[in-house]
Amino acid sequence: MACASCALQVETVLRHTPGVVQASVNPALNDAVVLYNSAVTSEAAVRAAIRQAGYRVAGDDGSSGDAPASAPERVSDEEREYRTLMRKWWFGAAVGIFTMIFSYPWLLPVLRDWLPRGSEQLRYLWMGMGVLSFAVLAYSGSQFFTGMWASLRSRQANMHTLIAFGTGVAWIYSTIAVLFPQIFPEEGMTEVYYDVTVVVTALVVLGLAMEIRAKGRTSEAIKKLIGLQAKTARVLREGRELDMPVEEVLVGDVVVVRPGEKIPVDGVVLSGSSAVDESMITGESLPVEKREGDEVIGATINKTGAFQFRAAKVGSDTALANIIRMVQDAQATKVPIQRVVDVVSSYFTPAVMILAIVGFVIWYLFGPAPALTYALVVAVTTLIIACPCALGMATPMSLTTGIGLGAQHGILIRGGEALQKAKELNTIVLDKTGTITHGKPALTDVLVTGSFAGDEVLMLAAAVEESSEHPLAQAIVEGAEARGLRLSEAAEFQAIPGHGVEGRVGGRTVLLGNVKLMRDRGIDVAGLETPARGLADDGKTPMYVAVDGRAAGIIAVADTIKPDSTEAIVRLKKMGIQVVMITGDNERTAKALARAVGVDRVLAEVLPQDKAHEVQRLQLEGRVVGMVGDGINDAPALAQSDVGFAIGTGTDVAIEASDITLIKGSLRGVVTAIQISRATMRNVYQNLVGAFIYNTIGIPIALGLLYPIVGILLSPILAAAAMSFSSVTVIGNANRLKRFRPSVSAA
Amino acid sequence: MTPDKILVLLGGAGAIAFIVWFFWLVRKEGVRAALTSSGYQEAMILVKGGYTPDVIRAEAGKPLRLKFRREETAGCSDTVLFPDFGKSAQLPSGEVVSVELMPQARGEYGFQCQMGMLRGKLIVE
């Protein structure tokens, strides 16, 4: 949009669109704010109206203007750039073959006779080559010259500057040599370097094209995340089911999801039930059961049943949009070592230019004849072989791949610093409740006395508890259901606060509660008190059951260990990391659990507010400490630790509190996160060392350091190939990271 | 030493001196972000072979909105990074993309393309 009159034109068109209440267009920002009646028109219709007025609407490919969603457009940008570069390469390559042959016609038997060295016809041919190679510089090499101009204006230098200078100098020298051969004292100097100009340009352009392809693969993870977004949603409005683009779903809408469909936005299930595949967000491969009141995450796939849910988060507020934004931002961060690299690269390019001049002068003063030729070749080769790009790309490429890799496994890494620290961890502190264990009680033991059967007691207790709202009650009910017991209806249910519950099931009186309740009712539980104490010592909560006035048994519930905790702890220890458990439980209970999962150090009886202090004490022992907790209660400890791992579940992503967020609530994520960090940092170092070695070896060779020793002088064309190859190698190495497979993962 | 060699020597020394002066010794003034009625400091930055202007001056403690407009398709400049702020933005060519920052502490903060080839500086005063 060019001017205010265009803005006015679009506004007029919009105001005349049925259903539009108000429209204002800002030409400077290229945006339009349109207020419309959604009963009459839709966003799509508004977009269509703008298009009809002859303007393009950003994000017309189904995306909105938000940062995460604008990526599909970027893909086509990339594709367009790739095609342009390839055209430039083919043009350069075609001219390149021609110039290669006719720059040295005396090397070919047939041409030797037609175009002898120093002949008039060869000079005319070279003039033609000069024109053609200028065309290559102007077309294929245009970005180097515009880039050089732009960077020089802001007094900076980059790869463009080097390539433009290198090819430009070669072209100017050749042109002077062709037009005014008489100014050169020796005949040998009147050779031309149009082949250098053309082939170097072509090779570097080809390198850029390959970079774009490789870079596209680096950010594949983000593209995959963006591709997860649902395109349409089926929404209930005024009693009718309407299919609409997902952008038009509003908070509070009731969304209908059928089997096999993608859940469009985040929300809470209103009715129906199903199993949902959440692997794309959490990395959990098993489908998750969803019932009324459960949260569903946008972009996950509904498997079995149909259900309706109320949209809670839409657009850029959804969990997926947050994840995408976080992954994108994480890529913008720096690994601490990058700061050193930055300082180096800010001096690098001008330093290379200085070296090229130094090389030129030395070869001119002390080099063999023809001195000018050698001096020129050395200077041009030096300019071209230096690859500031490889240095600059070394970390960002690996970071992008590594962080994207994490996202695919349900691990959100905050940035480069977190990656570097996670690699150095030698101690992991695990919060017991909710981290090693489920954080919610489950049925563990059923003990019986006399003639009672285990299932009988459990069934009676569960039937009574079904009417209770106590969390322990739910554990008993779920435990009974898990054993396949059918629960009959309980009558005369009564909760006795602080003691227990009672009720009648199938004509039998059932009493469930603590020892005080039993004594109050005159029930003899003497035989059960010892096992009850044993259960309590193990950190479990025992409850007495009495049926028809007689003691029937004990039901115990406890927070249970997550099935994969033990495996993850074994893995961590194998990786050379000491595992410490922190808990508010008493020493004995904590030690019992620690033994069960294989934790070697226990910090027991720690009050919640002292957790951060304990982490600090470990740090004072010289350890690099990672803290794993739930992100809410453990926030201070997470902040104190070197790397805070927040274990979240579903949409409840506590991104802010932590360095690394595990979307799935499994400890295996900690193992995978550390493995990814180690792999990524290793990749970063490989790239940096590679780029550094390439430049420290390549530049001296280009300067001709090998010439006095073994008589080798690098050709500028080989230098161009090497430099293109080096930056592609860096990206290729970063892409290698994608082959990483975590050693523990359900996926 | 022949006259041409002396000329080359002097020319080389002169060129090196120029490079040192041109790239390293000159301090750039930069452009001050203008304060708008909404309370934001705003500056437009053209992305074409580099960032123009590439030095932005802003006041600490006031929100800053940098509007990037990319007028090229060269792959390098498609993302702008603010490593000190942990922010990044995709810059589709031909569109204005705003990056909002809250500069708290004084100092110099760099911004750059993904590969660090294009660089700019944010000076907070």
Instruction: List the catalytic residues of A.
Output: 431
What would the pLDDT profile of A305-342 be if each residue is shown by its tens digit?
889 999 998 888 888 888 888 777 777 777 777 778 87
- Look up the ipTM and state it: 0.83
Least CB–CB distance from A350: residue in B19, B28, B67: B19
> CA-to-CA distance for A486 and A508, rounded, in angstroms?
16
**Nearest one of A607, A228, A658 to A408, comparing CA atoms:** A228
Give, in order, the Cα–Cα distances in Å from A300 to each of A267, A293, A434, A498, A745: 12, 17, 24, 42, 19
Interface check for A212 against chain B (CB to CB < 8 A): the answer is yes
Helices and strands, counts by H and E, chain B: 1, 11
From CA A51, how far away is CA A186, in angstroms rounded? 66
Reading the block at residue A143, the tokens are 């970005």
- A41 Cβ contact partners less than 8 Å away, ≥ 6 residues apart: A17, A18, A19, A20
Kind of pairing between the strands at A254-257 and A307-313: antiparallel
How far apart (Å, rounded) are the C-alpha atoms in residues A341 and A155?
20
Question: Average pLDDT per run of 10 along chain B, which is 125 residues long?
Answer: 89 94 82 86 87 88 90 79 82 88 87 81 89
Q: What is the mean pLDDT of residues A24-49?
A: 67
Residue A331 with chain B: CB contacts under 8 Å: 81, 88, 114
The encoded tokens of residue A629 equal 């907790």
Q: Residue A52's pLDDT band (boundaries 50, 70, 90)?
A: low
Backbone angles phi, psi at A18, to 5 degrees: -60, 135
Nearest CB among B24, B50, B73 relative to A77 is that of: B73
| pLDDT at residue A59, rounded to an integer | 53
Spell out a b/e string for B2-32, using b for 16 or more CB atoms within 10 Å of the CB, else e: eeeeeebeeebeebbeebeeebeeeeeebbb
pLDDT of residue A702: 93
pLDDT value at position A26? 59
Euclidean distance between CA atoms A122 and A127, whole angstroms: 9
pLDDT tens by residue, A651-686: 454 556 678 888 877 888 899 999 999 999 999 999
CB A457 within 8 A of CB A446: yes
Q: At residue A107, does pLDDT exceed 50? A: yes
Structure tokens belonging to residue A471: 């969390």
Nearest to A222 by CA among A332, A311, A303: A332
DSSP class per residue in A235-289: EEETTEEEEEEGGG--TT-EEEE-TTPBP-SEEEEEEE-EEEE-HHHH---S-EE
> Closest Cα of chain A to B59: distance in Å?
22
Cα distance between residue A721 and residue A202, in whole Å: 10
Structure tokens at A150: 């732009």
pLDDT given for residue A465 in this prediction: 86
Which chain B residues contact residue A361 at CB under 8 A? Answer: 8-9, 12
- One-letter amino acid for residue A140 of the chain: S
Query: Which residues of chain A neighbour B87 with C-beta distances below 8 Å?
Result: 329, 332
A67 Cβ under 8 Å from any chain B Cβ: yes
pLDDT score recorded for residue A135: 95
Lowest mean pLDDT among A597-601, A694-698, A727-731, B113-117: B113-117
Does A26 contact B at CB distance below 8 Å? no
Q: Across residues A229-254, what is the average pLDDT?
A: 88
Question: Could you tell me how many residues make up chain B?
Answer: 125
Per residue in A178-202, pLDDT (tens digit) is 888 877 766 555 678 898 899 989 9
Task: Determine, for residues B86 and A364 on separate chains, whether the beta-carbon distance falls below 8 Å.
Answer: no
Q: How far is CA A721 from CA A104, A202, A348, in A?
A: 20, 10, 20
pLDDT digits (tens, 9 = 90+) for A65-82: 343 444 444 556 778 888
Provide DSSP, A680-728: HHHHHHHHHHHHHHHHHHHHHHHTTTTHHHH-----HHHHHHHHHHHHH
Q: Which residue has the higher pLDDT, A481 or A77?
A: A481
Residue in B closest to A388 by C-alpha: B117
User: pLDDT at position B3, please?
Assistant: 87
The angle, 0 to 180 degrees and rounded to 10, between the axes of the packed helices A668-702 and A336-366 is 10
Q: Which of A659, A741, A733 is nearest to A399 (CA)?
A: A733
Cβ A74–B92 below 8 Å, yes or no?
yes
- Residue in chain B closest to A208 (alpha carbons) equals B75
Q: Out of A155, A342, A364, name the one closest to residue B26 (CB).
A: A155
The answer, for B47 touching chain A at a CB cutoff of 8 Å, is no
Closest-CA distance of chain A to residue B32, Å: 16
Shortest distance, CA A76 to any CA of chain B (angstroms): 10
Model's pTM, two decimal places? 0.75
Share of chain A above pLDDT 70, in %: 89
CB A686 within 8 A of CB A733: yes
Helix (H/G/I), strand (E/B), else coil: B19: helix
The closest alpha carbon to A105, from A124, A89, A131, belongs to A124
Strand, helix or coil at A395? helix
Q: What are phi and psi of A464, to 5 degrees?
A: -70, -45
Which residues does chain A have within 8 Å of residue B115's beta carbon, measured at their own beta carbons?
389, 392-393, 396
The two tokens of residue A237 are: 């409005």
